[in-house]
Amino acid sequence: MPKDKAGPAVIEIESAKGGGMALAAYEHPWPIRFCHWLNSISLLIMVGSGLRIFMAFPSFGPRVPERELLRVPEAITLGGWLGGALQWHVTFAWIYVATGVFYVGYQVFSGHYRRVLFTRADISGVWPMARHYFLFGHKPSLTEQYNPLQKLAYTSAALLGILSVVTGIVLYNPVQFSWLAWVMGGFHLARLWHFVVMCGLLAFVLSHLVMVILHGWDNFISMLTGWKKNPEYLKE
């Protein structure tokens, strides 16, 4: 198979009924797909149990505010009680971290990161892509597996993932990691950053889901099989 240094392998598929040829690209090697699904599950569990933990003291200061500024509906939380939520949270934290370490390690050692890491060369392509999505502007031509806006989104999500762990470590053991707590502006602010990072990740997940729905079945199924039929960047 021809292998582009920074792109997926492409094959032709002969239709069974004869006639048309389709192209398919191997976009997602199995470690990427595996981490994707494992991480979606653990992220969901971390958010649900995290919100339940937050309910025990819905504040980012030293004291509970007079009025509850943020009321978390119990239905979207996990764990049932503080102790249960903590069990979920500290258990899946390890799965979350292990998945993240494996994912980043794979990206680096396989060289796959070249397809997805947002670099300086992508900066100029962000605005045209954003204009296309949000202001219905002309669609820029696609030449890679991921467009610049996608790379930006995925790279930010990975950074948010790392930040969620680092802020979480401070909340878990603020005395042992006192220097990290200091970097974050103290224990209370670490609690706020941990929450803000979660909001960022949720914003990513939400927009990601919208894009997945807009891009249809072949795109969705590629995260299960690795292969995407007739990807846009090969048509042009």
Partner 1 sequence: MRTSMKEVKFRRLNRREALKLSPALLLGAFAIPKVRDSLLLRGLKFSDWASGLWFRRGHLARTYSDSEVTPLDRFPFNSYDVDDPGIDLGKWTVAVSGEVQRPGKYTLDQIKALPKVRQNTRHVCVEGWDVIGNFGGARISDFLNLVGATRNARFLFVACADDYYETLDMPSALHPQSLLCYEMYGQPLERGHGAPLRLSLPTKIGYKSAKGLTEIRVTNVLDRRGYWEDQGYSWFCGL
Which residues here bind partner 1, judged by CB under 8 A?
Answer: 1-2, 10-16, 21, 23-24, 30, 33-34, 37-38, 41, 53-54, 56-57, 59, 62-64, 82-84, 86-88, 90-95, 172-176, 178, 187, 191, 221, 224-227
Task: Name the minimum Å distance from CB 152 to partner 1.
Answer: 27
Task: Name the minimum Å distance from CB 56 to partner 1.
Answer: 4
Nearer to partner 1, 94 or 127 (CB): 94
Nearer to partner 1, 29 or 200 (CB): 29
- The two beta strands, 227-229 and 21-26, are antiparallel
Pick from 13, 36, 8: which is nearest to 106 by CA? 36
User: Helix count (H) and strand count (E) of the chain?
Assistant: 9, 3
CA 192-54-184 angle, to 5 degrees, is 20
Pairwise CA distance, residues 34 & 110, whole Å: 15
Distant-in-sequence contacts of 4-8, Cβ < 8 A, 24+ apart: 5/111, 5/114, 6/111, 6/114, 6/115, 6/144, 7/115, 7/144, 7/145, 8/115, 8/145, 8/228
Task: Name the minimum Å distance from CB 100 to partner 1.
Answer: 15
Question: What's at 187, amino acid-wise?
Answer: F
Nearer to partner 1, 143 or 178 (CB): 178
Nearer to partner 1, 69 or 210 (CB): 69
Nearer to partner 1, 152 or 184 (CB): 184
Task: Name the minimum Å distance from CB 213 to partner 1.
Answer: 20
Task: Name the minimum Å distance from CB 1 to partner 1.
Answer: 5
